[in-house]
Every structure is written in C-alpha cells, then in structure tokens.
Amino acid sequence: MKNTLCLATAIAVLGLSSAQAADLAARPYVKAPPMVAAVYDWTGFYVGGNVGYGWGENTDPRLSFVNPANAGNIGSFLSTGLPGLASGNLFPNLNPNGVFGGLQLGYDKQFGTWVLGGVADIQAADFHASRLVTTPFATTGANVDESLSAKINWFGTLRGKLGYAVNDWLFYGTGGLAYGRTESSIGFACTPGGAGCGGVSFAGTAAETRVGWSAGAGLSKAFGNWNVGLEYLHVDLGRSSVTAVDQLGTFPTTTITQGQRFVVDTARLTVNYKFGGAPLVAKY
C-alpha cells in the first residue's frame, strides 16, 4: 500500500512539472548583430618621398633695354630693326622640363568621409631649357646671336588638403604656397664674322629664390600604415628677370633685360608612412 502511494505521488509531481513547463513561453531567438567591414582611418601624421616629372609652360620673355642715344643702333635693332627692316628681338620662348624628387610630411584628420589636412614638401629639380637664335641679316640687317636659358633648381610647397575618403582610398584637392630657386642667362652678340655689326657682346646671369602659389589634385591608396598615391600639381613662381651687360666695354651704359615666367606642371608618385592610430576601425 505504501509503495503504491509513493508511486502515485511521484507520477503526480512529474505531471505537474510537465504542465508548468508546457505553460512557459518559448525563449525568443535573438540574432547576433552583423559585423560591418572595417573602415580605414586616415587620421595621423605621415612622412614620405616622391619622384616625378615636370613640364614647363612658356617662359613668355618680355624685353626691356637701356640704350642712351641709341648707341650702336642697339635700341633700334631690338625694337624696330634697322631702317626698313624687322625687329631683331628674336629671343626664344622656352619650355623648361625635367625630373624631380624629394620629401614630404603632413597631417590628416578624418571627419566621417571627409578628410582635412596639410602638407609641406621640398624637391630637388632639373627643369631646364635653353636656346640660341641667330637673326638673319636679310631680315634685320645684322647677324646677331640671341640666347636665353631658364632653370628651376629646386622647389617646395606648403599646402592645405580637402579630401573624400572611400574606405582605404582618398581623393583630394590641394593648394597653397610655392617657393623655389630659379636661374636665367642671356646673351646678345654679333656672330663671329657676321655682317652688319661689330664690337657687340652682352651677357648676364641671374639666380633668385621666388615665392608663388600651387594647386592640384591627387589620390592615395592605403596598405595598412603605408599609402601610395599619384598627384598633379601646378606650380607658379611668377616672373624673374635677367640683364645682359656689355662684355667689351664698347657700350658701358647699355643693358638688355628679359623677364621670364617660371611656371611648371608636375606629376608625381608619392609613398607615405602614417604614424599613430589604428589604420582600420571595425564597426558593428
């Protein structure tokens, strides 16, 4: 009898537990939040190097001279030519070009997809051009060699940047200050044995550190803390002048001056290393 009572009690307890379990609502399934792909963070200081090529715009030479009393007919020759003949001002228009390479450092700060920054750079350059033109006697009444050269030895910039980031790609515009070292030379002399003139030989050189402006655009692709980019930059150093003086003492008060523009367009490859901060930021 006792065994029967115990068995009945156990069955009743199990039945009650099963009923209570059945009455409980099933626990809802909660899906884990999806992980968003990591986003590159462009914020940080960086330092790197660059190498490229520059092609100059026309130097657009502009002549001026001092020739008291038109000594030796030099003033007439350069402006209107000898009587009834064309001007002897045939100084050449140049287009300096060449390679360059240097260093840059800067800082970028990312705000959402926008990136603000600044960069300073300096490059050794070999932008140069020179030419000699001999004026034809039949046209000007004298055979004269007229030469000009133009060169940029080095240049640098200090620029702001505004960019748009697409993960580890950065597209940007840039502009600011430019500076550089320019050199010019000028020559004006009778061709040896030439007709129409004699005892004429002028020459001069000039070197100057110029300040101007720069503007351009570029793109960069990041690989961890490293990034590689391409950049176009227009550099305008304004005008510089070079003056030729008499080399023989025949016309000591006469001078011949040419002003030239120093403007160059450049394309460069950049490689930078970014310091500090995690280059990738994972979002959930």
Domain ranges of the chain: 36-283
**Residue 231 in tokens:** 């950049």
Q: Looking at residue 2, what is its pLDDT? A: 47
Give the right CATH number for 36-283 from 2.60.40.10, 2.40.160.20, 3.40.50.970, 1.10.3720.10: 2.40.160.20
Q: Looking at residue 203, what is its pLDDT? A: 97
Q: Looking at residue 195, what is its pLDDT? A: 63
CA pseudo-torsion sign 3, 8, 9, 11: positive
Are 61 and 113 in contact by the 8 Å Cβ rule? The answer is no
Q: Looking at residue 77, what is its pLDDT? A: 86
- Which residue ranges in the chain fall short of pLDDT 70? 1-37, 81-84, 192-196, 277-284
What is the gyration radius of the CA atoms in the chain, in angstroms?
Answer: 38
Q: Looking at residue 69, what is its pLDDT? A: 93
Q: Looking at residue 192, what is its pLDDT? A: 67
CA pseudo-torsion sign 168, 174, 178, 183: positive
Q: Looking at residue 33, what is its pLDDT? A: 59
Residue of 245, 235, 262, 258 whose CA lies nearest to 150: 262
Note the pTM of the prediction, 2 decimals: 0.82
Interatomic CA distance for residues 163 and 110, integer angstroms: 9
Interatomic CA distance for residues 265 and 212, integer angstroms: 14
